Structure 1
Amino acid sequence: MPNHISVVRAKSIAGLMTATSLALVLSGCGATYDVTSPRSARNQASADAKNALSPVDCRKLKCVALTFDGGPSKTTPPLLDILKKEKVHATFFMQGRNHITKYPDVVRRIAAEGHELANHTWSHKVLTKLKPAEIRAELTPVQDEIAKLTGHKPVLMRPPQGRTDEKVSKVCRELGLAQVLWSVTAKDYLTTDSALIEKRVLDQAERDGIILLHDLHKGTVPAVPGIIAGLKKRGYTIVTVSQLLAPAKTEPGMVYRP
């Protein structure tokens, strides 16, 4: 699922700061919006920050974030069993219609077991094709439903197909949502071959990467134990997106992309 984004310019940060923000343009459109990498976000955070979001420090550790899109679904509880056994936490970008509404107890369990809950729209429409009011209508109900079930609204979202632009970013800013893309995809929506899914993830994984998987597809959950084992064998610490960024705090509207 390509994100159809091209880099057109970079902003320089003086002194000890690194370049943390790029102006991106959606192909064929002149609107710009801000993007940064997990490493740049961490580097820009205050050097003496004391309140990191997690006990892990990805400035020192070789971290990779594990994320799942499109759930919850009937395959999510077995996935949660695996993650609990392996003592791994992930970020779940959840859909509203036929997912959050159908599996509210699973949403509660995801939160109770320490995973990160995030927004993947109500009905998986491509947001760049919508008007601002329609974008808001895709994001707001997910915020409200997750808050109703867990007591907390997400601060992260993932645009369907990774497609974003200035219009989407503006609505996300207003709703307090940062946008999260990815660097690793197994294209598990195209195959049920768990061994292939595992291989694709391990072949692409790099430090500060963000792995995209879909817990609702048949071959994905059976691939997760091998993915976790393979990443750990290579020295990776598996974290949530917010843990990957810490001590930086997510900036609403910003696009985070390795």
Structure 2
Amino acid sequence: MSARCRLRRILAGVAAAATATAFLGACGSARPASAPGAKTPPASSRVSRPAPSPTPFPIPQKPHPVDCRKTHCVALTFDAGPGPDTTRLLEVLKAKRVNATFFLLGKNVTRRPDLVRREASEGHELANHTWTHRLLTEASAEETRRELVLLQERVRELTGRAPTLMRPPRGLTNPSVAEVCRSLGLAQILWSVTAKDYRDHDPEVITSRVLQGAQRNGIILLHDVYPGTLPAVPGIIDGLRRRGLTPVTVSQLFAPHRPEPGQTYRNAPSA
């Protein structure tokens, strides 16, 4: 082989080696620059997500103004809700321009928290009817406190305010219950007239009982969990007004004074 042929072969080999080296270098440059074994930062550290906004407390409307020192008033109260008919009841009260006091029950607050917030936002008064409707006269002081505190805390979570009034199940109380209520800042509100709507579901019977017993400074007991109550409410409100009585909340009935924690009331003191 001539020297010229050997030179051509050498040059061809050098060129091939250079091409291969360039190709491997290009492939190597496509790899990440991070050191072997480096971990990819978690998505949470790379993407900033805004924290969820807390649900704002409802802004309560003021109750329809009334001075019960000058006006013949009676408190309209509903126990054990919110119930299946409470939404329609609130529509009736709004149409009639009436505010009421709702004594709330724990299990129904849990089922219908939006209605609790709506009651507060529409100017109604929220009060405590215990967490499980246990008879407090058969409970220890510690058990009574738990029944009341659970409801207090849940209403505060939903509305920003805890109740200042309570109603013991079946209206049964004793000195031990009174002392627990006093320590929690809760006045005990019973009633002067009941429709017994828990037993009789005839709207006409319910209406008649309320109107026969209603008097100035009295407290009317109804329930927003029984089927006969809602149909009776419009007639009750109209009938009270025909008799010169204005339906109000418990606190409006007592104003400018406040019921004292631990004390029991069946009506408001006469002026």
What TM-score does the superposition give when structure 1 sets the normalisation length? 0.78
2:5: which partner in 1? Answer: none
Which structure: larger Rg? 2
- Residues 167-201 of structure 1: per-residue CA shift (max 9 Å, x gap): 00100011110000000101001111001100010
What is the Cα deviation at residue 55 of structure 1?
Answer: 3.5
User: Within 2, Cα distance between the matches of 1:54 and 1:139?
Assistant: 29
2:72: which partner in 1? Answer: 62
Please show how residues 157-176 of structure 1 align to structure 2 within 5 Å. Answer: 157-176=166-185
Aligned: 1:225 with 2:240: no
Q: Equivalent pairs: percent with the same residue? A: 59
Work out which structure has the larger RCO, using CA pairs closer than 8 Å and 6 or more positions apart in sequence: 1
Conservation of the 8 A alpha-carbon contact between 2:64 and 2:97:
no
What is the Cα deviation at residue 54 of structure 1?
Answer: 7.7
User: Within 2, Cα distance between the matches of 1:199 and 1:114?
Assistant: 27
User: Within 1, Cα distance between the matches of 2:240 and 2:123?
Assistant: 20
Moved over 3 A (4+): none
1:245: which partner in 2? Answer: 254
Aligned: 1:91 with 2:101: yes
Q: Among residues 150, 167, 175, which one is paired with 1:141 in the alignment?
A: 150
- Residue 71 of structure 1 aligns with an amino acid whose one-letter code is G
1:216: which partner in 2? Answer: 225
Q: Secondary structure at the match of 2:126?
A: strand
User: Within 1, Cα distance between the matches of 2:163 and 2:137?
Assistant: 21
What is the Cα deviation at residue 250 of structure 1?
Answer: 2.3
- Residues 106-156 of structure 1: per-residue CA shift (max 9 Å, x gap): 000000000000000001011011100000111001000000000000000
What is the Cα deviation at residue 59 of structure 1?
Answer: 1.5
Please show how residues 15-30 of structure 1 align to structure 2 within 5 Å. Answer: none
User: Within 1, Cα distance between the matches of 2:264 and 2:245?
Assistant: 24
User: Within 1, Cα distance between the matches of 2:180 and 2:70?
Assistant: 34
- Residue 77 of structure 1 aligns with an amino acid whose one-letter code is T
- Residue 209 of structure 1 aligns with an amino acid whose one-letter code is G
Aligned: 1:254 with 2:263: yes
Conservation of the 8 A alpha-carbon contact between 1:54 and 1:243:
no
Aligned: 1:77 with 2:104: no
How many residue pairs get aligned? The number is 205
- Residue 192 of structure 1 aligns with an amino acid whose one-letter code is H
- Residue 236 of structure 2 aligns with an amino acid whose one-letter code is I
- Greater fraction strand: 1
Unaligned runs of 5+ in 1: 1-52
User: Within 2, Cα distance between the matches of 1:55 and 1:216?
Assistant: 28
What TM-score does the superposition give when structure 2 sets the normalisation length? 0.74
- Residues 211-254 of structure 1: per-residue CA shift (max 9 Å, x gap): 00001000001100000000011111111000000010221111
Conservation of the 8 A alpha-carbon contact between 1:54 and 1:246:
no
